[in-house]
């Protein structure tokens, strides 16, 4: 039987909700808290003690599972190992590992002793590692023998890095086995730092965003409201903890709900992904538009081979979700993807489509209860409905970043007129739904009109010949900028001038006369971050023959 969504009535909850009411749902030590304790350990004094928290699926198809109690013990042991190394509150412990169980033990154990956990995506190369480990002045790095080789190459330049823990060595395994399973949990001020990580680098040099223990309040509530997590769910978030989605909704918020989570170590692969959805009987699935677009163009017969009937709720984040993707999932899975918007800096979901609310395809939905969002001009004044402006949030909210590590001025630069300015442009319609237009830097000004790349890309993606598109403004003496589209075609399609014209006309017809791409270039692959976001700044720099800037998060392409 289908049970009611956790957030049954958005409008009423939005009007009456206060964050104080969440306090009671989490465990406090007087006025202190520990985020990792709330994610894992508090369940061990309930019936969830022996419930599976983690179904781990290796790249080689090996399987392991861990109960909440087992995760509690493993992370206690890791906390004790850190203490033996002299790690104390506030020290930075960085994790450079693939999605293996040790990564989760280490993240939780670090936070439990009051140190600051930092994550590094396992594909980072030397320069990316050096930048992040030097900026954060990490004291400990946790890695494996393979990845350690990259760190060794830059170690000399990291005088603050006192210890490297290599989790696949016999020495480490021995010390893990001998470590005490008992740990006294650090009682933290809600404003104390819990974790930090660097942004995706889509628009420029990644920023070291720092989050507090208090963030768990919003991570937990949004996992309930937006992901709709319930005790009977099997939940799969495909993100990597090197990015904020993997921290907030693969570790902290989702486990705070007591859910059984699947974690797959391997990379994106349509067949593998469908196998995982089927064999673990996944009910709630949280993924990203880039993966959805890739699934949309894989042979539709593949999907038909799998039983995905346990799925009941689908969510997407990280990039604008093309309406075509929602159409697709409704058709082939029988469920729409629910888009939601947030940033590394916001620490948790801020604007979302809820299971109980009507979806307007292409819209990010409405702000979560307990948060005020607005569309404002560059001075922080609200603009009216259907007008383009900055997507802004009213501070504070529980998971708001505490600072940008060692860049106080950068932190300050986010705020105008008492509002947090996200750097994204959007608009709000008369019904209160928010629509994403583009990153502030990506919005195109053509013949006096402003055009968001997302709508042009979505119009192109709706054409059957197109897999993906990246759209930029190209300087033009006459029009200021013209719209240029880089288009990836379906395998069976042959690039031709005729097809270019057809695509231009298609956008003209389906979107707007002024918003069609005057120039189209077919390319094999779009430049993307390792978290799957289209890097329009690289398309633009290449087009204009300019330096391409920080490429530490660029996927090989
Ligand atoms: P950087 O700040 O280093 O340039 P980034 O902004 O991509 O990188 P993240 O914090 O990982 O780093 O991503 C947040 C951004 O992702 C948002 O500001 C927005 O541009 C985009 N985004 C996330 N979710 C959505 C969504 N649902 N719709 C549209 N855009 C989204
Ligand atoms: Mg950003």
Task: Show which of 377, 396, 428 is a domain's final residue.
Answer: 428
pLDDT given for residue 205 in this prediction: 87
Same domain, 129 and 30: yes
Q: What pLDDT was estimated at residue 266?
A: 96
State yes or no: pLDDT of 274 exceeds 70. Answer: yes
Atom 16 in ligand 1: which residue has the minimum CA distance? Answer: 318
Query: Do 460 and 363 have their domain in common?
Result: no
Across 55-69, 357-371, 506-520, least confident range: 506-520
Of 286, 366, 533, best ligand 1 pocket probe by most atoms within 8 Å of the beta carbon: 533
Q: What is the pLDDT of residue 2?
A: 74
316 CA closest ligand 1 atom index:
27
Which ligand is closest to the CA of 457, given by its number?
A: 1
Determine, yes or no, domain membership for 5. Answer: no
Decide if 436 is inside a domain. no
Rounded CA-CA distance 87/80 in Å is 9
Q: How confident is the model at residue 512 (pLDDT cuts 50, 70, 90)?
A: confident
What is the pLDDT confidence band of residue 557, given thresholds at 50, 70 and 90?
low
Instruction: List the beta bridge partners of residue 473.
Output: 483
Domain CATH code at residue 350: 3.40.50.12780
Is there a single domain that holds both residue 406 and residue 539? no
In this structure, is residue 106 part of a structural domain? yes
Same-domain pairing of 158 and 224: yes
* Three-class SS state of 513: helix
Task: Say if 421 falls within a structural domain.
Answer: yes
Per-residue pLDDT averaged across 322-335, rounded? 96
The closest residue, in CA terms, to atom 27 on ligand 1 is 341
Ligand 1 centroid, distance to 341 Cα (angstroms): 8
Mean local confidence (pLDDT), 537-545 = 95
Check whether residue 479 and residue 419 sit in a common domain.
Answer: no
Comparing 224-228, 236-240, 295-299, 333-337, the range with the smallest average pLDDT is 295-299
| 147 pocket-lining for ligand 1 (C-beta < 6 Å) | no
Averaged pLDDT of the chain: 96
Ligand 1 contact, 202 CB (< 6 A): yes
CA distance 224 to 210: 24
Q: Which two tokens stand for residue 499?
A: 């097809």
Verify that 289 and 392 share a domain, yes or no. yes
Of the chain, the percentage scoring pLDDT greater than 70 comes to 100
Atom of ligand 1 nearest to the CA of 531: 11
**Going by DSSP bridges, is the β-strand pair 313-316/260-264 parallel, antiparallel, or unpaired?**
unpaired
DSSP annotation of 527: -
557 in a structural domain: no
* 352 and 395 part of one domain: yes
Q: Is 442 in the pocket of ligand 1 (CB under 6 A)?
A: no
Q: Are residues 419 and 480 in the same domain?
A: no
* Residue 556 scores a pLDDT above 80: no
Give the distance between the most distant pair of CA atoms in the chain.
Answer: 72
Residues 410 and 274 both lie in one domain? yes
265-276 average pLDDT score: 97
CA atoms within 13 A on the CB side of 246: 25
For the segment 223-250, the average pLDDT, to the nearest whole number, is 97
- Cα–Cα distances in angstroms (integers) from residue 35 to residues 6, 48, 87, 95, 293, in the given order: 22, 18, 18, 18, 34
CA distance 537 to 515: 19
Lowest mean pLDDT among 82-91, 197-206, 308-317: 197-206
Decide: 536 in ligand 1 pocket, CB within 6 A.
Answer: no
Identify the domain boundary among 395, 428, 461. 428
Q: State pLDDT tens for residues 118-152.
A: 999 999 999 999 999 999 999 999 999 999 999 99
Residues 109 and 224 in one domain: yes
Distance from Cα 319 to the centre of ligand 1, integer Å? 6
Residue 549 belongs to a domain: no
Range(s) of the domain holding residue 76: 10-428
Q: What is the mean pLDDT of residues 329-353?
A: 98
Across the range 377-402, mean pLDDT stands at 97
What is the pLDDT, as a whole number, of residue 1?
56
308: in domain: yes
pLDDT at residue 146, as a whole number = 98
Q: Cβ(148)–Cβ(166) under 8 Å?
A: yes
CA 348/CA 224 separation, integer angstroms: 12
Q: Which pair of structure tokens corresponds to residue 219? A: 């991570």
Where does a domain end: 428, 461, 482? 428
pLDDT at 265 over 60: yes
- Report pTM: 0.96
Q: Is 405 a domain residue? A: yes
Looking up residue 535, the CATH number of its domain turns out to be 3.30.300.30
The pLDDT tens digits for 97-106 are 999 999 999 9
Does residue 115 share a domain with residue 261? yes
Residues having C-beta closer than 5 Å to ion ligand 2: 199
- Shared domain for 380 and 487, answered yes or no, is no
Determine the Cα–Cα distance for residues 247 and 253; give it in Å rounded to an integer: 8
Give the tens place of pLDDT for each residue, 292-327. Answer: 999 998 988 999 999 999 999 999 999 999 999 999
Structurally, the chain folds into a number of domains equal to 2
Burial of 239 (0-12, 13-18, 19+ CB in 10 A): buried
- Residue 251 pLDDT: 98
């Amino acid at each position: 039987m289908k049970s009611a969504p956790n957030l049954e009535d958005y409008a009423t909850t939005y009007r009456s909700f206060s964050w104080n009411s969440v306090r009671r749902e989490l465990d406090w030590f007087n006025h202190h808290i520990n985020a990792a304790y709330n994610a894992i350990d508090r369940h061990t004094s309930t019936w969830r003690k022996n419930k599976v928290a983690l179904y781990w699926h290796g790249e080689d198809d090996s399987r392991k599972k861990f109960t909440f109690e087992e995760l509690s013990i493993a992370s206690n042991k890791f906390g004790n190992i850190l203490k033996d190394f002299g790690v104390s509150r506030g020290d930075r412990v960085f994790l450079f590992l693939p999605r293996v169980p040790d990564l989760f033990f280490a993240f939780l154990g670090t936070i439990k002793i009051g140190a600051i956990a930092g994550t590094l995506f396992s594909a980072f190369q030397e320069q990316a590692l050096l930048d992040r480990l030097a900026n954060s002045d990490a004291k400990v790095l946790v890695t494996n023998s393979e990845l350690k080789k990259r760190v060794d190459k830059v170690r000399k330049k990291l005088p603050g890095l006192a210890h490297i823990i290599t989790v696949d060595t016999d020495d480490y395994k021995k010390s893990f086995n001998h470590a005490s399973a008992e740990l006294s949990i650090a009682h933290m001020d809600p404003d104390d730092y819990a974790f930090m990580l660097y942004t995706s680098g889509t628009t420029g040099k990644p920023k070291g965003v720092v989050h507090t223990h208090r963030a768990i309040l919003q991570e937990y509530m949004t996992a309930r409201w937006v992901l709709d997590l319930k005790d009977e769910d099997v939940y799969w978030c495909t993100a990597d903890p090197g990015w904020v989605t993997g921290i907030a909704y693969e570790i902290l918020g989702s486990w705070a709900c007591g859910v059984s989570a699947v974690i797959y170590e391997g990379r994106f692969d349509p067949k593998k992904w469908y196998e995982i959805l089927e064999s673990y009987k996944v009910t709630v699935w949280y993924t990203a538009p880039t993966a959805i677009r890739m699934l949309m163009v894989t042979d539709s017969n593949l999907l038909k081979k799998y039983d995905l009937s346990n799925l009941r709720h689908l969510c997407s984040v990280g990039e604008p979700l093309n309406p075509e993707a929602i159409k697709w999932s409704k058709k082939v899975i029988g469920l729409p993807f629910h888009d939601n918007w947030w940033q590394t800096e916001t620490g948790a979901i801020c604007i979302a489509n809820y299971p109980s609310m009507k979806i307007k395809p292409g819209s990010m939905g409405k702000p979560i209860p307990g948060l005020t969002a607005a569309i404002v001009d560059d001075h922080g004044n609200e603009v009216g409905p259907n007008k383009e402006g900055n997507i802004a949030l009213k501070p504070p909210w529980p998971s708001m970043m505490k600072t940008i590590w060692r860049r106080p001025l950068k932190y300050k630069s986010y705020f105008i007129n008492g509002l947090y300015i996200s750097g994204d442009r959007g608009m709000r319609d008369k019904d209160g739904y928010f629509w994403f237009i583009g990153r502030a830097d990506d919005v195109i000004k053509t013949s006096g009109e402003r055009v968001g790349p997302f709508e042009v890309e979505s119009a192109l993606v709706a054409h059957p010949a197109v897999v993906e598109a990246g759209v930029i403004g190209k300087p033009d003496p006459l029009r200021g900028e013209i719209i240029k589209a880089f288009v990836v075609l379906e395998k069976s399609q042959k690039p031709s001038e005729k097809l270019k014209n057809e695509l231009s006309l298609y956008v003209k017809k389906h979107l707007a006369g002024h918003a069609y791409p005057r120039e189209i270039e077919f390319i094999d692959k779009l430049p993307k971050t390792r978290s799957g976001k289209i890097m329009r700044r690289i398309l633009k720099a290449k087009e204009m023959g300019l330096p391409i800037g920080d490429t530490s998060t660029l996927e090989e392409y």
